[in-house]
Structure 1
Amino acid sequence: MGYRLSKIYTRTGDAGETGLADGRRVPKDHPRVEAMGELDSLNSQLGLLLAELADQAGACPALDEVIEVLTPCQHRLFDLGGELAMPDYQALQPSEIARVEDAIDRWNEELGPLQNFILPGGSRLIAQAHVCRSLARTAERRCQQLNALEPIREVGLAYVNRLSDLLFVAARLIARRQQVDEVLWQEAAKPGV
């Protein structure tokens, strides 16, 4: 990927269109641009999560592993965004999905089975991990919408799906390692009971 921006504003998007690397101009609400935007939002929130994890790692060194697993995800999300911007570009590899699945399996073994539905919360870190998880789901939906119009690589679709799973498990692991109780969902009381 040799092209780099030398000028931040170009004025070419002022009329509501943007350029793709293949030379096409598309509306800024085109499904491809929407998918790229959701990946960018996820990546930004993941950066916030990683910064907060780094801030807390001194007090809780057990969070270092979470940082090690999640840090490459920012780079791979950028790769996937590049693939969407440049349809001929292929950077994301199936080995990344295997890496994420391995982390999910290791962490799930430590956590044990989920006994109840949990809510985002308990600590700022846990809630931020859930923000990232929900944004991963949104990014996945946008990628699927694009895929219905213009097929994209299966590895990208699988990666975003697996990333939301990783972030869910990461939220639970953060709770465990911070020794914070997960917020369990409490079903609404039924009338007459």
Structure 2
Amino acid sequence: MKATIYTGVGDAGQTRLLGNIPVSKDDLRVEVYGTLDEATSTLGLARATTRFQDLCQQIWQLQEELIPVMSEIATVPGTILKKPVPQVSPEQVQHLENLIDRWSAEWIQTGQFITPGGSPASAALDMARTIVRRAERRLVSLHQREPVNPHLLKYINRLSDLLYVLARIDEQRTLKHIISEVVESNYTPPNSSKASLPVNEPKEERQGILTLSDSNRMIVAGIQRAKEIGVPMVLAVADESGQIIQTCRMDNARPISVQLAPHKAYTAAAVRVPTHELASLSQPGRPLFHIDVNLEKFTLIGGGFPVIRHGRVIGGVGVSGGSVEQDMDVAQAMLAAF
């Protein structure tokens, strides 16, 4: 006869730890390993939704490792068992720290607070992280009642740190993937032919480098156009990675524009799309909705354009100080001078 999943043993609010020791279902040990059970189930959601195989494998390994960890918590010290339960070791704590360091090498840190939800898997990882934090708090309460393996305390702490980093990696990779897909299907840069580079061009141009001379020329042209329309502007030029090469503030330009213009140049260079196009793709229901939530220096305000040479983005320009239309006008004058 097939066994049923229900037994009725716990109907009176009791359960049993390893070694057949009866305890209340709200006992601190049950609270700790039950909370970790919540975490590993949430990790299953993260594993089922991530599109990246190495992250999927990493999450699965953590789920497998949590099984003996929960067994340790479900064992009262001194309990005699037929098969000893392994204890969390210093080497396991070190292994988590090594994993944190390895994954952190890929993480582009923004230095700002994170709003969870950048991707389905990162949201699940962030949820698992907060559940592990709750398990840690319950474990501290247990430790105040009776001695707990100190390496176990460290392990749970490091685990939540690792989950935070993994969430950022999935979010970061997903964002990059979505942007690539959306840019490819929604935006074709002007002059995007694959023409070969003339051999008589300066070395910097043949290598696709945006030079200070290029920047100066574009800044001068932008200032000239801003004067023609009578609006003091801040103008910025960034290289292909979004790092600012040059910023120029005209007399009486708005203070806020000192921040906005470089952000526009950064966004245009990093995403390789004009910021006004990006704004359109980021409206509710569009593929890049909420793209700017966790990205420092990222803006959806028009006035930023990628700088393109021989079909390749080599930088970006950003202008701020007037209306969006005026900012775009001056930015396009900068590009025309390039």
Shorter-chain TM band? 0.7 to 0.9
**Matching residue of 2:101:** 105
Superposed CA offset, 1:62-82 (max 9, x none): x22222322211112111110
- Contact 2:46 2:120 survives alignment (8 Å): no
- Contact 1:133 1:164 survives alignment (8 Å): yes
**SS of equivalent to 2:8:** coil
Give the TM-score taking structure 1 as reference length: 0.80
Q: Residue 84 of structure 1 is aligned with which of 70, 73, 79?
A: 73
Aligned-partner Cα distance in 1 for 2:71–2:10: 19
**Matching residue of 1:72:** 61
Superposed CA offset, 1:66-125 (max 9, x none): 223222111121111101112352243332222221121122222244421111012212
More strand by share: 2
Superposed CA offset, 1:28-58 (max 9, x none): 11111111110110011111111112xx2xx
> Percent same amino acid among aligned pairs?
37
**Matching residue of 2:209:** none
- Contact 1:132 1:167 survives alignment (8 Å): yes
Larger deviation, residues 160-169 vs 110-119: 110-119
Aligned-partner Cα distance in 2 for 1:15–1:173: 45
- Contact 1:175 1:182 survives alignment (8 Å): no
| Residue 134 of structure 1: how far off its partner (Å) | 0.8
1:13 maps onto 2:2 in alignment: no
Q: Closer, same or farther in 2 for the Cα pair 1:173/1:100, shift >3 Å?
A: same
Aligned-partner Cα distance in 1 for 2:136–2:122: 21
Aligned-partner Cα distance in 2 for 1:86–1:161: 20
1:26 maps onto 2:23 in alignment: yes
**Matching residue of 1:60:** none
**SS of equivalent to 2:147:** coil
Give the TM-score taking structure 2 as reference length: 0.47
**Matching residue of 2:161:** 165
Runs of 4+, deviation exceeding 6 Å: none
Aligned-partner Cα distance in 2 for 1:19–1:36: 12
The gaps in structure 1 that reach 5 residues or longer are: 1-5, 57-62, 187-193
The answer to which structure, 1 or 2, has the higher relative contact order (CA under 8 A, 6+ apart) is 1
Give the counterpart letter for 1:44 in structure 2.
S
1:94 maps onto 2:204 in alignment: no
Larger deviation, residues 162-171 vs 9-18: 9-18
Give the counterpart letter for 1:51 in structure 2.
A
Q: How many residues align?
A: 173
1:116 maps onto 2:106 in alignment: no
Larger deviation, residues 89-98 vs 39-48: 89-98
RMSD: 2.2
Aligned-partner Cα distance in 2 for 1:65–1:80: 23
Larger deviation, residues 123-132 vs 40-49: 123-132
Give the counterpart letter for 2:146 in structure 1.
E
Q: Closer, same or farther in 2 for the Cα pair 1:79/1:148, shift >3 Å?
A: same
Aligned-partner Cα distance in 2 for 1:96–1:43: 17
**SS of equivalent to 1:13:** helix
Of structures 1 and 2, the larger Rg is shown by 2
